[in-house]
Chain A
Amino acid sequence: MQHQSTFERVLRGVLIALVLVFFMFPIVWILLMSFQTNEQILRIPPSLLFEPTLENYRALITGRLETHAGTLDIRFMQNLWNSLILSVFSVALALVLGVPAAYAFARFRFRLGEDIAFTLLSFRFAPPLLVLLPLTLYFQDLGLSDTYVGLVWVYQLICLPLILWIVRGYFEDMSPDIEHAYRTAGHGWLTTFRRISIPLTAPGIAAAGLLAFIFAWNNFIFALVLASADKQPVTVGALAFVTASGIQYGQIAAAIVLSITPTLALALYAQRYLVEGLSLGAVKG
């Protein structure tokens, strides 16, 4: 291990601190805002000293915001719940469909294989509104408008290409010799897939799943167009605090904190897999 001088250690510490401050400042500032009233937030100049309040969180969680103008109903927790349902089920479905498909594209050569794979990827290129307006018509005919099933289906436009293309890379990087060895021992390809391929690429699948989850969580246009107000995700719900009569900055900040918590928790929990997964295959032996 290389020896570092005191100067180098201090310099490194200072630089890391600077980078941390730069990247963390907006998040910390939002966190602080979430414990302030609108009046405290809009003070000129802004101050770091304030009497913290939990009113913003209380209003979001209970669904009732007491203002000088009266009581406002808030559906933020419903929005949060919707985001959770849509993201979890969309990623789950995309994993069920995408991982075997990725394996097939990686291991087998078949007619029009690359064209099909590229077509699936092209879902990511299309501007959402271009796809959504015709889809709205079909959804109305099929009775899928304003349903979770319909939305989870449409969310595959986000999740499926991501998972398919990322996981395909991991399968391609994995040596087929390991699978051949297992199959030589008398196992079928399905067992090999389940017992060998998936465990070996699990970090990559987890990373792809996490990325797909974040993309699904951040989307708002699909539900906005295809569903009613009661099925909107947090990305739409958080905008409800911006009204003609004023912006509820405190509630927006609290809503942001609550809405990034699930993805942040998931990312922290899966950090090891994420790093391992994203670097898997980066160095070929």
Chain B
Amino acid sequence: MHEREKNRVQAYLDGKLSRRELLRDMSALGASAALTSTLIGLGSTRAFAAGFDAMQHKGTALKLLLNKHPYTDALLANLEAFKAMSGMEVTYDIFPEDVYFDKVTAALSSRSSEYDVFMTGAYMTWTYGPAGWITDLNEWIQDPDKTHPDYNWEDMLPGLRASTAWNGIPGGALGSADAKQWCIPWGYELNNVSYNGPMFEKAGVSPPGNMEELLETCAKLATDLEGVYPIGVRGSRSWATIHPGFLSGYSNFGERDLQVNEDGTLSAAMNTDGSKAFHRDWVKMIQDYGPKNWSTYTWYQVGTDLGAGASAMIFDADILGYFMNGGGNKEAGKISFAPFAANPAAEAPTPNVWVWSLSMSSFSQHQDAAWHFLQWATGVEHGLFGAQTMDFVNPVRQAVWDDDTFRARIDESYPGYLHQHDVSAPGAQIYFTAQPLFFDLTTEWAATLQKMVANEVPVDEGLDMLAESVNSQLADAGLR
């Protein structure tokens, strides 16, 4: 049954067929898209099972806690393949992103053993890890009895491996030798410029490469395009306003959020001269060229405006531009991508990253089985499946980025995407200082930005006040 379909899928996995040819052939054979995905998943999972006792946890039941996300869709599309390969039962709960982390926090803080594996962001593990809610995965990664010989941990992009490992000491360098691996990178986003190609063409401008060019490009777009604002960035009173484009540009000038002193204490570093200069440009950019109600802008508004043709570009997550280039968006197919190094003197972009990762609950009753699942879910085979056939981007493994089928798919429909990633990936990592007050301090930073944009406080004065407040909070927490 399905032998001919299986042969076509195998040819695709072997690189003998393009994705388009596969879909055309499968369609001619009467196979649905769902069946095609399942067969690809089964084919790629066979590679994972080779040379390893894939059935060692047969009969064990795992439960996952997942966020409603395209990464989750890719996992679910391939989950049957894992169940067939491992003999394990895997159930899951999916919650909307808006309430997802409330659910995770409630489950972990109540020491619930209901969930074995869950999705998380690296920043969240700075709370979960020291609280003892999640497990240091180094124990499994380093154990040859529990880890597939071809798991190839080193294949994970180094910036992401480091970004998801922390020693738990406030100010401790991410990825240090004594760091604990709190989660495994699963999919990630870095921050560059996504822009509307036809709009740029109409205004006769090229994508900007640095902050100076960005302001010039915005000025031209503002003059030449009617009813469109030049650039979208986030602005709500939340940590999420600081971490994408803003911190990526900020870090490119070598600026930091906090200074780690010789005695291990921390102090605010956002009121240096360099920081003030960057803030002045950023505030001017929003005031002159940003959306009118910028202070309410989150991921959704920034993306929706680009997709609906209300903005000409965004300096935000590359995958936000990726998503807006598809779906039912008005501007689908018109979005292009470019690397952005805010500092003209910088050699390359230094994008801060958001890493959707998978963690193992400390309260799981089936940790070995959970690791078995984690290996598969973060392995090359599932990564290839998701990247080739679904929206499991950005991949976290070099092997997937090197895959011709994946590269051809992206190159065909997302102009400039591969280039912006290839140029930026070496410098892509978390640029925040890991410490327990992360969410409080970055939220206050966003609030200060709002005041600056609203002209309630001058940039220099605002940053001095912010630094004073940050220092006071660090002192109260015993970190200064």
Contact = CB atoms under 8 A, between A and B. Distances in A.
User: Do A and B truly interact?
Assistant: yes
A140 interface: yes
Contact of A243 (B69, B92, B308): B69
A246 B98 CA distance: 13
Nearest to A138: B110
Contacts of B96: 236, 239-240, 242-243
A68 B99 contact: no
Contacts of B304: 42, 246-247
B308 A44 contact: yes
Interface stretch (A91-99, A129-137, A185-193): A129-137
A60 B216 CA distance: 46
A229 B94 contact: yes
Interface in A117-140: 129, 132-133, 136-137, 140
Interface in A141-187: 145-146
B58 interface: no
B226 to A, nearest CB: 11
Given A68-B332, A70-B390, A243 B70 contact: yes
The CB with the most chain B CB atoms within 10 A, among A42, A236, A245, A247, is that of: A245
B464 interface: no
A62 interface: no
A37 B110 contact: no
Interface residues of B, number: 43
A67 B328 contact: yes
The CB with the most chain A CB atoms within 10 A, among B73, B94, B328, is that of: B328
B307 interface: yes
Given A68-B328, A137-B110, A239 B98 contact: yes
B328 A38 contact: yes
A240 to B, nearest CB: 5
A69 B391 contact: yes
Contacts of B34: 71
Interface stretch (B17-25, B287-295, B319-327): B319-327
Contact of A224 (B92, B103, B307, B332): B103
A228 interface: yes
B327 A246 contact: yes
A129 B93 CA distance: 20
B95 interface: yes
Interface in A208-260: 220-221, 224-225, 228-230, 232, 236, 239-240, 242-247
B109 interface: yes
Contacts of B324: 246
A55 to B, nearest CB: 11
A72 interface: yes
Interface in B422-444: none
- Chain A, interface size category, equals 35 or more
Contacts of B390: 70
B391 A224 contact: no
B68 A240 contact: yes
Interface in B109-131: 109-112, 114
Given A133-B110, A136-B110, A225 B73 contact: no
B38 interface: no
Contacts of B159: none
Nearest to B299: A244
Contacts of B114: 145-146, 228
Contacts of A136: 106, 110, 112
B227 interface: yes
Interface in B154-172: none
Contact of A72 (B73, B98, B106, B109): B73
B224 interface: no
B330 interface: yes
B73 A220 contact: no
Interface string B325-352: 0111110100000000000000000000
A39 interface: yes
B319 to A, nearest CB: 8
Interface string B74-111: 00000000000000000011111111001100100111
B326 A44 contact: no
B329 A242 contact: no
Nearest to A134: B110
B134 interface: no
A69 B70 contact: yes
Contact of B327 (A133, A225, A245): A245
Contacts of A232: 95
Contacts of B102: 221, 224-225
A29 B324 CA distance: 25
B327 A69 contact: yes
B303 interface: yes
Nearest to A129: B106
Interface string B115-155: 00000000000000000000000000000000000000000
Contacts of B33: 70
B311 to A, nearest CB: 11
B309 interface: yes
Interface in A20-48: 37-39, 42-44
B309 A44 contact: yes
Interface string B294-314: 000001100110011110000
A228 B65 CA distance: 9
B150 to A, nearest CB: 29
A242 B67 CA distance: 11
Nearest to A238: B96
Rank and list the top 5 A-B pairs by shortest CB-CB distance, nearest first. A239-B96, A136-B110, A229-B93, A245-B323, A42-B308
Interface of B: 33-34, 68-70, 73, 92-99, 102-103, 106, 109-112, 114, 227, 299-300, 303-304, 307-310, 319-320, 323-324, 326-330, 332, 390-391
19 contacts: A42-B307, A44-B310, A68-B332, A71-B34, A136-B110, A137-B110, A145-B112, A145-B114, A224-B106, A229-B94, A232-B95, A236-B95, A240-B68, A242-B96, A242-B97, A242-B300, A243-B68, A243-B70, A247-B300
